[in-house]
Structure formats: structure tokens, C-alpha cells
Chain A
Amino acid sequence: MATITAGVATPHIPAIGAAIDNGRSNEPYWKPVFAGYEFSKRWISEARPDVVILVYNDHASAFSLDIVPTFAIGCAERFQPADEGWGPRPVPVVEGHAELAAHLAQSIIQEDFDLTIINRMDVDHGLTVPLSLLFGQPERWPVRVIPIAVNVVLYPPPSGNRCFALGKAIRRAVDSFDQDLNVQVWGTGGMSHQLQGPRAGLINREWDNRWLDGLIEDPETLARMPHIEYVREAGSEGIELVMWLTMRGALNPKVRTVHRFYHVPASNTAVGHVILENAS
């Protein structure tokens, strides 16, 4: 039987990807960011997931304004790294798990989530930077990935509650899959950041850390936070944090915090990173 064993939350900042790709991760600016992932790399080499269900958002790469799905699931065998304007990142092709993805889609849609099914999609930094942070620069990714793309670009994104409930539906779907698979769910994005307008550069350290406490200890309450609070307190792009609630919804109500890291800045953004394992 397939089992969800752990959840990971991490930002997907494009500048982090550029630092890795260009061999600049040892520079004084980047060192403290990557230091927060040393434990995580060791942890994942022991945790050895077969599949990561990776909740992220596309940044106008696969989806233009022609079609904007609120929740989309990648059911393909493989996904190519996207050319976002400077050529594709030099990272391996992302291999999917089409069989589990099809099972997820069928189960979750029957739980009232109207997922969009994607059979051809390029994946941008939102998906590949988290893989680089946890796995470094391998010849091929040591894991299969099922992308779950959430619209957080065109307002409004789905509510925190809806994202949290999606996580619970993912959990039930994985639990009912017959193959023996070690599955992790990752939530990506955030934390506080604003990339646009005269308020760009906004960081709210206290709010971010309170939010992390809530994510770990009382996600039911946190999931009810309205969008306006994210926009006001964590910046217009801080709203990406709703995607972390999907990861949390897929875990047990009680979790063990294996790793927690917070650092400012990486480019324009506050880096928050946690690893959670199910506790009973």
C-alpha cells in the first residue's frame, strides 16, 4: 500500500536556482540559505521517497492567461524544464508517476475537487528549485514527481481551507493505492515577499514565524485565515503560502517537526523551510 510518510515546505525562489546552476552557492550571500538545507539533504537521502506530490504554482510558464486552472494535476510520464525567458534550467527532466497520478485524479475528483488534468506541461522554477534544494545536482532526479499546480497568480487563489481540504483528499487517495510506495507531499512558495510596486521588498518575520507555529500545531485554525491577511501582512506574493496547507492537510493532525529553518533574505523573499513527519 502507498503511504504518505512526510511533508516538506520550502520556497522556490528562482534566484536560488540560478545560484545552484551557476555554482555560486558558496558565496557569502547564499551560504546561510544553503546551510539551512544541509540537514534536509541528509534526511532525504535516508528517507528515500519513491514519489513526491509537489504542490507548487506555475509562474506564467505552462499557463498563459488563455487557461488558468485553479487546481491542476500533472498526469504525464515526464515534464520538461520550462524556458522562462533565459533558456531552460540545466536540470534533469522530471519523471512523473502516471499510474498514481491517474489514481489521484480519479479519487480526488470524486471527492468534489474539480481538478484539471494535464498531460503535457513544462515545469518552471516553482517545481524544479525545490528539487534542487533537496537533491542537489544529480544526473537524474532520484524520485518521481506528481505536480499539483495551484493558481496563485490570478487573484483569487483557492482559499486556505480549500487547499487544506485538498491535502486531506490527497491523503485518502494515496492510502487507497495498491502499490507499495513511500510518498511525500511538498508545499512550496513564500514566505513573506512582495515582488511588485513601491511596497516591494516587504518582509514580516514575526508574522511568518507565527504562521509556521500555526502550520505545525493548529492548521485547522490557520486554514481559515482570509486572503486579505496574507496580502496585507505577508505581501502580495506571500499568498503562495496557501500551498503549504495542502502539504499539511495530507499529514496527520499531529506531526513531529524534524527540521525548521528561517532566513532573510534570498533575493526578495523570506526563506521558511520545514520538514514534518507523521506522529500518532
Chain B
Amino acid sequence: MALDKPYADVPGTVIFDADQARKGYHLNQFCMSLMKAENRERFKRDQRAYLDDWPMTEEQKQAVLARDYNRMIALGGNIYFLAKIFSSDGKSFQYAAATMTGMSQEEYARMMLQGGRSIEGNRRTAELSAKEKK
């Protein structure tokens, strides 16, 4: 019997569950390797060559090279692992979060200062699409 995944209808959200972790194992382990300074240097010198040392899918490698965090998450990445990539790039959590929302970092920071993204209309995908139709 399939597992119940009540979180599947939370909009704009991928829950890092066992299935995602299975898909993203090598992607996430690559991220872990960036916790060592010498690995960060090697990665920065030749990203493609560094990635080719890992048994990741081509799609995952492309997503890393493009710093497409939504894509990396769809392909099994987890944000705390992916944090090693943007930390190596000298970027903050807020920068990475902003890129995933399609907002500029300034717009995103302003939204946070104004109290953050509202929960209204953001609980279920059905609500969100109803809002978009209006």
C-alpha cells in the first residue's frame, strides 16, 4: 500500500522524505564534501570536473551549475545540504530563499520586514490556484 503523504498538496513545497532522499543521495553527499576547505577550492577551480567525480545524474549536475535551487530540490536535494553550495559561494540563506521565490533579494527582504509571506491562500494548492484565477 502506498504511504499517505498529506503534505503533497502544500503549495510551493517539497518535503524531503525517504523517496526524495533516495533520489538525492549523491547530490546531497556532494554538497557535504564542500564542508572541507580544500574541496571548496577544487570545486571552485573546475566545477564540472568536480561534479563528474560524483555519480549524480546529468540533470542534477546541470541544476548545480545553474544554481537552480528549486530544480535541485525537485531532484532530491535538501536545503540544509544545498546550503553548503551557497555558503561556498559566499551567499546567505536569505539570498538562496529569494532566488527560489522568483523575487530579487531586496524584494524578498522587504517582504520579510513587512511580516513575511502570508499564510492566507498558501495552505493548499487548491487555494493557491483559486487565488491565481481571480
Contact = CB atoms under 8 A, between A and B. Distances in A.
A198 B70 contact: yes
Contact of B87 (A84, A154, A202, A227): A84
A15 B73 CA distance: 22
B97 interface: yes
A201 B116 contact: yes
Interface residues of B, number: 57
A82 B97 contact: no
Interface string B95-134: 0111011100000100111011111001110000000000
B36 A83 contact: yes
Interface string A33-71: 000000000000000000000000001110011100000
Interface stretch (A97-105, A160-168, A260-268): A260-268
A246 interface: no
A60 B117 contact: no
Nearest to A66: B29
Contacts of A87: 37
B119 A60 contact: no
Given A196-B13, A200-B97, A265 B116 contact: yes
Interface stretch (B16-24, B50-58, B59-67): B16-24
A60 B86 CA distance: 14
B83 A200 contact: no
B117 A154 contact: no
A52 to B, nearest CB: 23
Contacts of B35: 61, 82-85
A222 B106 CA distance: 37
B29 A196 contact: no
B68 to A, nearest CB: 12
Contacts of A198: 11-12, 70, 100-102
Given A82-B35, A85-B84, A204-B119, A197 B73 contact: yes
Nearest to B99: A200
Contacts of A192: 116
Contacts of A60: 28, 31-32, 78, 80-81, 83-84
Nearest to B90: A86
A156 B18 CA distance: 8
Nearest to A156: B17
A84 B82 CA distance: 11
A199 B14 CA distance: 10
A200 B101 contact: yes
Contacts of A216: none
Interface stretch (A138-146, A228-236, A247-255): A228-236
A85 B83 contact: yes
Contacts of B93: 14-15, 195, 267-268
6 contacts: A154-B78, A194-B117, A198-B70, A203-B115, A232-B123, A264-B112
Given A59-B80, A83-B35, A203-B112, 8 more contacts: A84-B84, A85-B83, A154-B78, A196-B79, A200-B12, A227-B7, A231-B10, A232-B123
